[in-house]
């Protein structure tokens, strides 16, 4: 009877005898629950708790280090899916393209008439074959640029900051289009990509990289901005570039202490509020 009372069992598997204790919580654990530790063994619960308490490494900009640029992959996928839908249903492009308002005499449509979603949805659409100057090369060029530069920027900023940068850049391009060319019908991710280009340049300076390569990329981006004045919407490109620069400057030069995330989020929220206010004021003037 005394021998039976001396038998101990695993706290997770009561049917299994165990004589080894977890070095952290001091509970008995069986071989399937044991995890090698620096001294002795720990149970799976203590290993999980320890992993949560370890401070995760972060980049200079405060982003969590991730080997897989998941957001970039998702953004490319969304653009490609939207393009396939455009090919299948041409009306889809017109329904969600960026449009501020229609000229007098046409059916009222656009942001000024309640289609606020166009400020973002237009940034996920592209010209289809036989449409405009570029056709299918429009999405090809944009997706190649997003694939190449987006992965670099995302690995430094982390997923949340990177997504905020991308969306605010896209919104900045659409808002400048609304302010300057409200009757123009535009599509394309170029505004967001120009924002990523600005981020790439700011990040290069902040990290002390060899700026010759970064400056060459930026010079090419600015050259395309000039060329696009006669081919596409330079307003969307410039708006995305400026918005991306503002956001990334906040990411790069915010205090590196507990206030960093607060300052970065505050700048993003302030920029969002400014863009929304400008869009609302312009929409009100167009419908006055």
Q: Quote the CA–CA distance of 139 and 188 in Å, as a whole number.
A: 8
Residue 92 neighbours by CB distance under 10 Å: 16
Provide the CATH number for the domain formed by 70-286 in this structure. Answer: 1.20.1540.10
Render pLDDT for 46-55 as a digit per residue (tens, 0 to 9).
Answer: 888 776 655 6
Residue 52 is predicted with a pLDDT of 67
Residues 153-173, mean pLDDT to the nearest whole number: 96
Q: Residue 140 has which token pair?
A: 């090809």
Between the CA of residue 219 and those of 18, 21, 173, 248, what are the distances in Å? 68, 64, 19, 18
Band (pLDDT 50/70/90 cuts) for residue 124 is very high
31 vs 163: which has the higher pLDDT: 163
Residue 21 is predicted with a pLDDT of 86
Residue where the block lists tokens 């206030």 = 259
Of 20-29, 86-95, 150-159, 209-218, the least confident: 209-218
Q: Find, among 185, 160, 163, 269, the residue nearest to 235 by Cα.
A: 185
Domain boundaries, the chain: 2-53, 70-286
Residue environment code for 212-225, b if the CB has 16+ CB neighbours within 10 A, otherwise e:
eebeebbeebeebb
Render pLDDT for 194-238 as a digit per residue (tens, 0 to 9).
Answer: 999 999 999 988 888 777 877 887 787 778 777 766 667 889 999
Residues 105-119, mean pLDDT to the nearest whole number: 93
Query: Taking 90 as the threshold, does the pLDDT of residue 183 lie above it?
Result: yes
Query: Taking 50 as the threshold, does the pLDDT of residue 3 lie above it?
Result: no
Band (pLDDT 50/70/90 cuts) for residue 105 is confident
Residue 202 is predicted with a pLDDT of 93
Residue 213 is predicted with a pLDDT of 77
Q: Quote the CA–CA distance of 188 and 148 in Å, as a whole number.
A: 17
Residue 1 is predicted with a pLDDT of 42
């Amino acid at each position: 009877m005394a021998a039976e009372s001396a038998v101990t069992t695993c706290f997770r598997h009561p049917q299994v005898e165990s004589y080894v204790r977890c070095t952290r919580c001091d509970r008995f654990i069986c071989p399937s629950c044991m995890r090698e530790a620096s001294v002795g063994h720990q149970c799976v619960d203590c290993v999980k708790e320890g992993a949560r308490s370890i401070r995760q490494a972060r980049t200079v900009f405060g982003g969590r280090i991730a080997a897989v640029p998941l957001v970039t992959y998702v953004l490319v996928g969304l653009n490609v899916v939207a393009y396939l839908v455009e090919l299948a249903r041409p009306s889809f492009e017109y329904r969600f393209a960026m449009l501020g308002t229609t000229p007098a005499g046409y059916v009222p449509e656009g942001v000024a008439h309640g289609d606020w979603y166009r400020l973002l949805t237009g940034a996920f659409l592209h010209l289809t074959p036989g449409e405009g100057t570029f056709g299918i090369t429009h999405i090809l060029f944009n997706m190649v640029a997003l694939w190449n530069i987006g992965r670099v920027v995302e690995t430094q900023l982390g997923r949340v900051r990177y997504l905020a940068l991308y969306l605010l850049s896209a919104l900045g391009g659409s808002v400048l289009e609304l302010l300057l060319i409200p009757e123009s019908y535009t599509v394309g991710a170029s505004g967001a990509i120009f924002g990523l280009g600005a981020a790439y340049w700011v990040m290069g300076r902040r990290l002390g990289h060899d700026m010759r390569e970064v400056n060459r990329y930026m010079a090419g981006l600015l050259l395309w901005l000039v060329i696009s004045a006669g081919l596409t919407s330079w307003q969307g490109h410039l708006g995305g570039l400026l918005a991306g620069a503002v956001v990334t400057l906040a990411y790069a030069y915010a205090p590196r202490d507990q206030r960093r995330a607060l300052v970065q989020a505050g700048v993003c929220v302030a920029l969002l509020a400014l863009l929304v206010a400008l869009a609302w004021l312009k929409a009100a003037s167009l419908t006055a």
